[in-house]
Chain A
Amino acid sequence: MTSRRSFVAGSLAATAAFSTSRFAFAQSLPAGYPADYAALIAKAKSEGRVAIYTSTDESQGQPLVEAFKQTYGIGVDYNGLGTTDVYNRVISEGAAGQMGADIAWTSSMDLQMVLAQKGLLETYVSPEAPNLPAASLYKNIVYGTSIEPVAMLYNKNLLKPEWVPKTRAELVKLLQEHGKELKGKIASFDPEKSGIGFLLAQTDLASTSSFWDLAKAFGAAEGKVYGASGAMREKVVSGEQWLAFNVIGSYALQWQRESPVVGVSFASDYTAAFQRVASVTKGAPHPAAGRLFLDFMLSERGQSLLASKGVPPLRMGYKGPLDADEMNKLTGGNMKIIPVDEKLANNMAPRFRADFFQQWKKAMRGEG
């Protein structure tokens, strides 16, 4: 009995020693962090866990999560949800006073903006804020975490090489001129089902004059719509579809490396790029841990970890794979980054949406 008790005590001591050493490591705060940051860390540790609602695949987020656990010894509950589910969850749980998430991290910038305006997100001045571009920050509430240009994904064996569009204009032309041959072979995001699909459609609509022409040609060619890039990848790789546009570029590049049949093309005349955005929720169950995680995501280390899984960082001064230079080279310098600002919320006006979808569905039926 005694021996067993002393064994337990011993292992407890060992654990304590181990965690102090990690604490010591975390103590060496990066430059620019306030001196009282140690207090935040201590509080976060006492909270013990952090819960994240996100639309980012768990496999992509995992290095970040693992590193966070290692560094702080704080457990992470990672909820991989769709963009609309992140939003709906936060709204319902907020209403019930049962917020389950500390961090809402989503590709749906517009939905996140609505959450901010509904007062469901917390204002938090991150010590990392100065390292972000102005377009990636909204009132210390919504923080951009990555720059995500969209790409065209195609099947090298099936799409004729001369058909591979290099620009947006070529894409529109291809669909208009070869719609018959490409019947049922084109894929894109479903703006109804996917928040990011809707955001991209709105950006295209606002930034190009050819949006409805493209939509009409897409509809006439009996294009298929999907809720996620991964679904489009499956269809392109298998050859069910030959070409998918508005696919998340970072994924596309990854898939190109994995599969010999996949080709990726960025339009050099216009490439929309959205940002994955993150915020601390109001009423978060672990507010300090949530803040800590947000800072970690934006830190140099966090951004590199995201880049390691193909998520392009936006932190100023970041150099490495998928840095700004590389992204600009890929997109011919014509990247249209969607800024994190209040205008995004306009997308959510019901009247506006209803009108848009009406026209969209008409276009999908191949009607004018």
Chain B
Amino acid sequence: MTDLRVSGVEKWLGGNHILRGASFEASRGSITALLGASGSGKTTLLRCIAGLEQPELGRIDIGGTCVLNGEEGLALPPEKRNIGLVFQSYALWPHRTVFDNVAYGLTLRGITGRDAELRVFGILQKLGLSHLAERYPDQLSGGQQQRVAICRALVYQPRVLLMDEPLSNLDAKLREDARYWIRQLILELGICAIMVTHDQSEALAMADHILLLENGVIVQSGTPMEIYSQPESFYAADFLGTNNVLLGKLAEGAAIGGDDWQLRGVRRGQVTGGLGESARAVVRTERIRIVDGPGDNHLEMQLDACLYLGSHWEYRLTRGGLAIKAHGDQPLPPGPVWCAIAPESVWIFG
């Protein structure tokens, strides 16, 4: 069942067109990530769904109820949308205990007393927080605060859970754990969750669905694997993964080349340029192999340096104006080497 339907949402701020017609759907038991660089409009879109910002055009339905309809002039305030929102800063109320923070949403829904207590302790227990119920937020660690914030947003079983950069305030180690348990929790409870993130690995690891935003437009949506391995635009290709961007001109047979080099590849995205026109190619670093000698789609390059990155080595390669990074599991001496790149890994845009 579709719990959230967003269609044609547009928002201006001052003269800026921040959202240009975002549309998507999401349903329970899944996580949808809004991924994009800062300024891409992802947080604004989330806040529009929450009702904290108001778009000028578009329509939003939550759980089958229309909460925003530009044509009818309808815009429900946040409290009427039956959502839960986890803030980047957690926004726990400093004057209330953990219990009171979590219980507030129930109080507002007329659930008090024993009933409320059961539900609050139920969710606190689930997240391992029940022993902290009487503490105040400033007596909690960052990870505990985050879990309280999630409890607070979930306790009254909202139709949609919205999370704004939920992991960005955690340190690296906690973050990796949180990716996992938050995903597990959402799947277990069967919630429709939307999260905003600028961190691709977070989106890839947690989401069932990724919406990639650029300048207020959803440029691509799909499963993490689709997004990662079948980018439909240069932006999408470049945004995810660690990449090499090669600048050159289009050549015969889906190839790109420079003054003294040429690589065959696949044309992706909208095909606009003809032969001889400038184009860009994106090659994921992990797709480049260092090989012993020439071959099909092999390129001879100069190895300038080798950087040790712990789990692997990074090679810095040049050929005239062309600079490429590649990975390998052993150090190599500087000097001429050969790079092998499969044509299906050279995504040519232009």
A–B contact at 8 Å CB threshold (below): no
Binding site for B on A (CB under 8 A): none
